[in-house]
Chains A and B, each alone.
Chain A
Amino acid sequence: MTSILTGRGLTSTEPTAPPARGVLSRLLRRRDARAGLVILTLVVVAVVAGPWFAPHEPDAAEFGRVLSGPSASHWLGTDQFGRDQLARLLDGGRRSLEATALVLAISVAAGLVVGTVAGVAGGLVDVVAMRAVDLALAVPGVVLTLALLGALGPGFGNLVIALAATTWPPYARLARGHVRAGRDRPDVVTARLAGASRPRAAAAHLLPGAAAHVLVVAALDVGQTIMAITGLSFLGLGAQPPHAEWGVMLADSRLYLTEASWLLLAPSAAIVVVILAAVLLGEAAAEASDPRRVR
């Protein structure tokens, strides 16, 4: 076949991404994916609905019950100000998961837009966008985040901005690669010859596939993002007192390790469980979306 010799014939040997509904059904057939999904759903329901049912306010201090252990009225005990640890765990969890969702949503959207525009436009736009990505990737993410937080100041909103600003480049590169590789796909060429503009053909035929690939990678990054958010909050760069957040709760608890070690357990366990569930789901999504791994 001439097309294989030249690599540019009317033939395409490129593997196309599997359709979304196939990926979803393959994903849900996997035990690890179901486990991850169930755990994440339970955690999300607990942190969203929990504060309405929790018998204590997360910021209500009860100085008569400082550092008291788990009891019937305070299932996870109280902290150094007598605040209910369960109420703070749920409130802090909502804040941690909200920030994770926000960071990933912003970085995925920015990565998809930059990558797709660069891939479709090509030429100078592509060169400029990809050199900006190279530049962002050349600096270690933590250093860049700390520098941005240094400039913006600590705070939960600034933490989200700083993390989103440092996590979008890999998504942009992935989306751009997908769009560039698919430009000569038969369905795209047909759409172009039928009269679709380059952006329209890319949006219709290439963007859904690029988004699916980027979302799978983002699913793998959920754990890392939670780690970054709680880690930076632990350092005092995220949520500020009196607001609860899992990283802040860990930072507070380390001062009372000897007299109230239970304070450390709940936020640590919450972080581990959510990251584990996110990794299970992310890995399963990556395998389910890979056409070479279809079973």
Chain B
Amino acid sequence: MGEPPVIEVVGVSRRYAATPALLETDLAVGPGEIVGISGPSGSGKSTLLRLLAAIEPPDTGEVLLGGAPAWIRRYGRRRRRPPRPGYVMPVFQNPFSSLDVRWPIWRSLTEPVAVTRRVSRAERRTLAGERLEAVGLGGLPLDAMPSELSIGQCQRVAIARALAAAPAAVVADEPTSALDVTTVAGILPLFQRVAADGTALVLVSHDENMLRALCDRVHPMAAGRLGEMLVC
């Protein structure tokens, strides 16, 4: 990789109580790169993803976002310090629970923008319409509630929300496992378009075939360790 990694973990380990979830793991992802992580349940895929997104700190090792440490120690506690808000955005497995059930989709979609600057309601609705258009949901009413959408539509809205923050990287945990084959076929080109725009993508999935078809490289994981890279 010629450019510096967007996200990088160096020698990170994580354990939950007595159970080691991740052991001495290194991974770097560059701009526009699509990296897949496959493996059986309990292999540490989701833990690695949480560390990459700086949702939680590692026990040992370092997480670097844009080349700078993602965690700093202040007043005895570790605090997250991304290069900017929305630098890494997540996409979750269950699209229904990843959107606030009380909020119409325009509000969820534009939350990443509204938390960083003052935006009028009209501006937010316009932005939401543009975001929906970008993920192929142009006809969807902005006031629709998550419960009124199909699971595939919810996942597209969740992806659109992640992209609304203009992230440098998107991490997705089993983003297609709750979806049917037809819906998956609509989601995968979306990920390719996101990466083509320069956003780094890390996808975790059981489906190695899907990862091999989509990703630049795939790392198998087992027992908390990242295996040799498989070039696709």
Binding site for B on A (CB under 8 A): 1-14, 16-20, 22, 185-187, 189-196, 200, 204-205, 208-209
Contact = CB atoms under 8 A, between A and B. Distances in A.
A10 B85 contact: no
B147 to A, nearest CB: 7
25 contacts: A1-B93, A2-B39, A4-B41, A5-B41, A6-B16, A8-B56, A9-B173, A10-B90, A10-B92, A10-B93, A14-B97, A16-B97, A16-B101, A19-B147, A187-B97, A187-B108, A191-B115, A193-B54, A193-B86, A193-B90, A194-B112, A194-B116, A195-B85, A200-B115, A209-B102
A1 B39 CA distance: 10
A4 B147 CA distance: 24
A78 to B, nearest CB: 53
A1 B178 CA distance: 12
Nearest to A7: B16
Contacts, number: 128
Interface in B65-111: 82, 84-86, 88-90, 92-94, 97-102, 108, 111
B13 interface: no
Contact of B98 (A5, A187, A196): A187
A20 B145 CA distance: 12
Given A6-B16, A8-B16, A1 B41 contact: yes
A193 B172 CA distance: 14
Contacts of A192: 55
A6 B47 contact: yes
A94 to B, nearest CB: 35
A189 B55 contact: yes
Interface of B: 16, 19, 21, 39, 41-47, 49-50, 53-56, 82, 84-86, 88-90, 92-94, 97-102, 108, 111-112, 115-116, 145, 147, 161-162, 165, 171, 173-174, 177, 204
A186 B172 CA distance: 12
B180 to A, nearest CB: 18
Given A1-B41, A1-B174, A191-B115, A8 B100 contact: no
Nearest to A191: B111
A280 B40 CA distance: 51
Given A2-B46, A8-B47, A11-B93, A194 B101 contact: no
Given A8-B50, A19-B145, A195-B86, A2 B44 contact: yes
Nearest to B87: A193
Contacts of B100: 187, 204-205
A121 to B, nearest CB: 12
Contacts of B47: 2, 6, 8-9
A9 to B, nearest CB: 3
B93 A194 contact: no
Contacts of A5: 41-42
B165 A194 contact: yes
B21 A6 contact: yes
A195 B115 contact: yes
B86 A194 contact: yes
